[in-house]
Structure 1
Amino acid sequence: MKTNIFNMTLSQYKEIARDLGNKINAGLKEDGKEIACLPTYINPGKDFEGKVLALDWGGTNFRASIVQFKKGEEPEILENLKKPLSAKETAGFAQNDLFNAMADLIAQLKELDPQVTHIGYCFSYPAESTLGGDAVLLRWTKEIYIPEMLDKQVGRPLMEYLNTYPGMKEKTQFQTIKVVNDTIACLFAGLAQPGYDSYIGLIVGTGTNMAALIHKDQIEKLNKSYSGGDLIPVNLESGNLVPSLLSGTMVGQYMTEIDKKVDEYSNNHGSQLFEKAISGGYLGSIFCNTFPEIALESKFDGEKLTNIMSFPAIYKEEYVAVARSIYDRSAKLVAASLAGLVLVLADYNGTKQSYNKNIANICLAADGSLFWSEDKNGADYNQLVSDHLHNYLAAFGLNHIHVYTSRLNDANLIGSAIAALS
């Protein structure tokens, strides 16, 4: 039945976790691996003072904010503006078209004044951090595609464009820009909660990805010129995982024929396969391809999928069951990916003598519309992830490790603002 095609066993989820852990370790050793493991050369500090411009572009909306820091106080968002800037709005864009759309919103900030000279930019696409705090775009995801920006700096060209934008000179001139991924920004925001042995940043929204603080001794490819702290923020780009099958006969053990159709119709065929099985930007497509005979609205996304589960009386029983299967599988895959990352943080290789017993309490700073979505007739997504994660850790014999989920308001903006002053 269609309700069963998305079911998987505990052993399969464990294999995904183990496979991701192995591929994270491979990505920490050298570049060009399936899991990129991109070190971020920004050492997050504390006790900041001043105002910064915080930008956030994650695939659906672009946000521009002024964030103020005062010693001994929580950061305060003084002003926050946003505009749609998705694949639909950016279709056919060149770099300057994108920058102009961003500058138009930034120029509307009333709190933008000569004190605001530093920019923190949360850029939620695969990019390699450089020593100066900028980043180089590796590839586009989430159906965004502006080819001339590939393999180029992300931050400096935007800052230079802003400094020459009409009317900007009268307001301020920017001096520095720091670029971080959304998972790194989430990770930085989570560091405000002390007392944990380790920290993970997680995004499950339009796309999905993870980041973590990893000891420099585990990162063989780390730039030897970097003189920051012992714990390095690493953007994993985990959405690109293709779990290996023991039989080796399929692309990925979680992939059904439906998943293959979703990938085939995407503009980045063959990449981000894990993301396409998990994130809100694709769950609607999975459902639509399961029932191609149904006439559904053009933007049928993860939010619409949860509506089917929350209001089952107005939908066919089969539709509700399949929607829940897709939703549950997504949460279980996220839990498996988190378990794989915990294996790396605990330096676990399958023997009880090998893991780092200092890792017991982990803070999971999570963000994203799908992760915090609610199911009115069942467990919410974040609870599903937490329950399955601890089941998987127990199956690995790591019962002593507890992962505590933290919901942070405006994590991307606060995290990128912290980066701006680091």
Structure 2
Amino acid sequence: MNRAAQAFLGAHNFQHHIDINTVAESILYDMHEGLCRRPAGQDMILTYSNPPEHSPVNKTVIVIDAGGTNFRSCLVTFDAEGNPSISEMEKTKMPGVERELSKKEFFDQFAANLEHLKDKANHIGFCFSYPMTITEDGDGVLIGFAKEVKAPEVNGCHVGAELKKVLKEHGWKNNLDVVLMNDTVSALLAGAAGCASGKKYSSYVGFILGTGMNGAYIQSECDCYPGVKKQIVVCESGKFIKLPSSDFDRAFDAKSQKPGTSILEKQCSGAYFGPVSYEMLMCAAKEGLFSENFAKKLLSLENLTLIEVDKFLHGPYSDSCVLGKIASESATPQDYEILFDLLDAVAERCARLAAAILTACVVKSGKGTSSIEPVCLLCNGTTFFKTYKVYDRVKGYLEEVLVKQRNLYFEIVEKDNDITFGTAIGAFRQ
């Protein structure tokens, strides 16, 4: 790394080479406290469910995937061999994104979005990617919306019960069974159901690193947690807060909707990758790290996204992205080097934090002790798989921290339509 860039990062406490084991152990302690129902950053949400021993056969299920800005719905049909297929997929806006809705308006929009699937199945698998408490009957009580969804009257509602009620009001005749789950649970279930012939995994982890980030694993029954039977646990990993924060992190956090919260997510996920990078570059430009002409160009930027940062890292000398174009017009060779090193440091920290979360989930599962039966890590998200070197770095760090240091074995798995198929499987609770 360029010495000037390294000194600048150190001066502002940006720890891109953060120790993975230290973070993983802190996360593990926080997970333990959460399961003991003591104050913790992570919510540690019990799901009262486990992966099924076999995929459903000769079944059809309605699948809803509601999260972020999109609302997706479709049918998933399992044939006689348990092979799934998707039909009647539709995508529309998530209710409450464009304007604030009352509870009635919110669920009425759900019903309108599902009209094309009316009475085509009795089972509904509902991936609802917002913090919620799962009940033993498979419903979910909303803790609160994140991102831009505005429907405060829905907080505290049993989402599944409200959905069944509104669908009846809209003329649905079937006796519906609705099961709520988080997207990490859907990912985990997709990994458990999609094991290749001749392979066997000792356990499963679901991990999302896209716009947001989160993890889920299977907690074994043990004396440490009385009353907690073997089941999938959602960690709400992004809420972990016991991390060193740089000046850039604090500058962005102060501008965020909920300052002081979700520190890990703000240092790792795609939604915040660009804004934190922006704070870093603005600071560097003001402190004279770049040439005068290039600094002026950078300071004219109003914002920065992960997409633009990633384009530059993949092709720093291309002028097809915002940073590349500015650099091509005014940057010196040293400007190019420093700019690249600073942004790569953000990607490096992202990879190390992702590796720490996955390490904690594998260790907490208590599995993976045999190389022939590793833990399946079903990973999902463009930030994880597409962002510059993140996937390769995570895999390399896990080889070191899990395999070489702990003799724990893993396999990273990616599957098409994983959230859709996993949600369909989750509709038939085990």
Report which stretch shifted further, 183-192 or 335-344: 335-344
Aligned to 2:294: none
Aligned match of 1:201:
206
Q: Deviations over 1:173-200 (max 9, x none)?
A: 3511100000011011110115011110
2:30 corresponds to which residue? 23
**1:191 counterpart = 2:215:** no
Q: Could you tell me whether the CA contact under 8 Å between 2:16 and 2:346 is conserved in 1?
A: no
Say whether 1:364 aligns with 2:377. Answer: yes
Is 2:136 the counterpart of 1:131? yes
Number of the residue aligned with 2:267: 277
Paired AA for residue 104 in structure 2: N
In structure 2, the partner of 1:326 is 346
Matching of residue 385 in structure 1 with residue 398 in structure 2 = no
The superposition leaves residues 268-301 of structure 1 with CA deviations (integer Å, 9 ceiling, x where unpaired) of 2221110011111111111222234544476x43
Aligned to 1:157: 162
Name the CA distance, whole Å, in 2 between partners of 1:96 and 1:369.
34
Superposed displacement of residue 75, structure 1: 1.1
Paired amino acid for 1:307: K
Say if 1:27 and 1:35, in contact at 8 Å, map to a contact too.
Answer: yes
Task: Pick closer, same or farther for the CA change 1:73–1:97 going to 2, 3 Å.
Answer: same
Cα deviation for residue 358 of structure 1 reads: 5.6
Give 2:182's aligned residue.
181
2-structure distance, mates of 1:9, 1:218 = 36
Aligned amino acid, residue 366 of structure 2:
A
Q: Indicate conservation of the 8 Å contact 2:379/2:413, yes or no.
A: yes
Contact 1:202/1:366 (CA < 8 Å) preserved in 2? yes
Structure 1 or 2, whichever has the larger Rg, is 2
Distance 1:40 1:219, change over 3 A: farther
Question: Contact (CA 8 Å) 1:41, 1:232: kept in 2 or not?
Answer: yes
- Percent of counterpart pairs with the same letter? 26
AA aligned to 2:60 is K
Alignment of 1:92-241 (within 5 A): 92-107=100-115, 109=116, 112=117, 114-165=119-170, 168-169=171-172, 172-173=173-174, 175-192=176-193, 193=195, 195-217=200-222, 220=225, 222=227, 231-241=230-240
Cα offset for 1:222? 4.0
Alignment partner of 1:266 is 2:242: no
CA distance in 2, matches of 1:219, 1:81: 45
Describe the shift of the 1:263–1:73 C-alpha distance in structure 2 as closer, same or farther (beyond 3 A): same
Q: Measure the CA separation in 1 of the matches of 2:183 and 2:191.
A: 12
Query: Aligned match of 1:286 in 241, 264, 276?
Result: 276
| Distance change >3 Å, CA 258–CA 174, structure 1 → 2 | farther
Quote the residue 2:308 is aligned against.
304
Over 3 Å counting, the alpha-carbon distance change for 1:222 and 1:122 in structure 2 is: farther
For 2:227 and 2:381, the matched residues in 1 are separated by 29
Aligned length: 383
Indicate the structure with greater helix content. 2
8 Å CA contact 2:17–2:352 kept in 1: the answer is: no
User: Which deviates the most, 313-322 or 259-268?
Assistant: 313-322
Question: What is the deviation of 1:302?
Answer: 2.3
Shift of 1:32: 4.6
1:7, CA displacement in angstroms? 3.6
Paired with 1:38 and 1:386, the residues of 2 have a C-alpha distance of 27
Query: Any conservation in 2 of the 1:54–1:64 contact (CA below 8 Å)?
Result: yes
- Deviation at residue 346 of structure 1 after TM alignment: 3.0
Contact 1:125 1:181 in 2 (8 A): yes
Cα pair distance change 1:374/1:32, threshold 3 Å: closer
- Helix, strand or coil for the counterpart of 2:222? helix
For residues 51 and 312 of structure 1, do their structure 2 counterparts lie closer, same or farther at Cα, with a shift above 3 Å needed? same
How far 1:68 sits from its partner (Å)?
A: 0.6
Establish whether residue 67 from structure 1 lines up as the match of residue 80 from structure 2: no
Task: Tell me if 1:340 matches 2:360.
Answer: yes
Residues 374/13 of structure 1: CA separation in 2 closer, same or farther (3 Å cut): closer
Structure 1 distance, partners of 2:315, 2:95, is: 28
Match of 2:285 in 1: none
Shift in alpha-carbon separation, 1:157–1:301, aligned structure 2, 3 A: farther
CA change 1:220–1:411 in 2 (3 A) is same
Q: Where do 5+ consecutive residues of structure 1 fail to align? A: 224-229, 244-251, 348-355
Contact conserved, 2:370 with 2:408, CA < 8 A, in 1?
no
Q: Which amino acid aligns with 1:309?
A: L
Query: Structure 2 vs 1, CA of residues 35 and 219 (structure 1 numbering), >3 Å: closer, same or farther?
Result: farther
| Structure 1 residues 61-107: Cα deviation after superposition (integer angstroms, max 9, x where no partner) | 211111111231321111211124398x3442333333333333222
Moved over 6 A (4+): none
Superposed displacement of residue 31, structure 1:
5.6
Instruction: Answer yes or no: is the 8 Å Cα contact 1:128–1:136 preserved in 2.
Output: yes
Indicate the larger mover: 319-328 or 197-206.
319-328
Tell me how far apart the structure 2 counterparts of residues 220 and 97 of structure 1 sit (CA, whole Å). 41
CA distance in 2, matches of 1:333, 1:47: 33
Partner of 2:47: 40
CA distance in structure 2 between the partners assigned to 1:140 and 1:295 by the alignment: 34
Residue 227 of structure 1 corresponds to: none
1:145 deviates by: 4.6
User: Helix, strand or coil for the counterpart of 1:57?
Assistant: strand
Pair 93,259 (structure 1): closer, same or farther in 2 beyond 3 Å: farther
Q: Secondary structure at the match of 2:258?
A: coil
Deviates further, 145-154 or 366-375: 145-154
Code of the aligned partner of 1:14:
N
* Counterpart position of 1:249: none
Amino acid corresponding to residue 24 of structure 2 in structure 1 = A
Q: Which amino acid aligns with 1:187?
A: L
Partner of 1:101, secondary structure, is helix
Judge conservation of contact 1:201–1:366 (CA < 8 Å) in 2.
yes
Q: Distance in 2 between matches of 1:309 and 1:222?
A: 49
2:291 aligns with: none
Deviation track 1:296-323 (CA, whole Å, cap 9, x = no partner) reads 476x432232112122113232433322
